[in-house]
Amino acid sequence: GAVVSQHPSWVICKSGTSVKIECRSLDFQATTMFWYRQFPKQSLMLMATSNEGSKATYEQGVEKDKFLINHASLTLSTLTVTSAHPEDSSFYICSAIRDRGPGNTIYFGEGSWLTVV
């Protein structure tokens, strides 16, 4: 079964509003989570690294004020898309590391579809 869960699976919101996506590690504590976005027929693009108890680290070109990431506990990270616009419509995916270390598995969530109308 899934070890990383995202909620909601899909969401439709109006332009200008904010929407929050949750990423939970179900049976382990994840000190580090990652957020990706994926446009149709394209590969996953890493947006940011989320570390529990500290500020997220954003990849170049990703607006940190638009994509707010909070990693308040060892099992939950949230991505808030603020003032959403139609171009923010995308598939958002999170991943979590069970234990730090180069040989350990990184698990992905099921993804969340965001449509901004």
Partner 1 sequence: DAKTTQPPSMDCAEGRAANLPCNHSTISGNEYVYWYRQIHSQGPQYIIHGLKNNETNEMASLIITEDRKSSTLILPHATLRDTAVYYCIVRNYNTDKLIFGTGTRLQVFP
By CB under 8 A, name the binding residues for partner 1.
4, 6, 32, 34, 36, 43-46, 49, 91, 93, 95, 97, 100, 102-103, 105-111, 113
CB of 114 to partner 1, least distance (A): 13
Q: How far apart are CA 104 and CA 117, in angstroms?
A: 40
Residue closer to partner 1 (CB basis): 64 or 83:
64
Residue closer to partner 1 (CB basis): 32 or 78:
32
CB of 2 to partner 1, least distance (A): 9
Q: How far apart are CA 9 and CA 22, in angstroms?
A: 10
Residue closer to partner 1 (CB basis): 34 or 67:
34
CB of 63 to partner 1, least distance (A): 19
Contact call for residues 93 and 108 (beta carbons, < 8 A) = yes
DSSP 8-65: -SEEEE-TT--EEEEEEESSS--SEEEEEEE-TTS--EEEEEEETTS--EEPTT--TT
CB of 117 to partner 1, least distance (A): 19
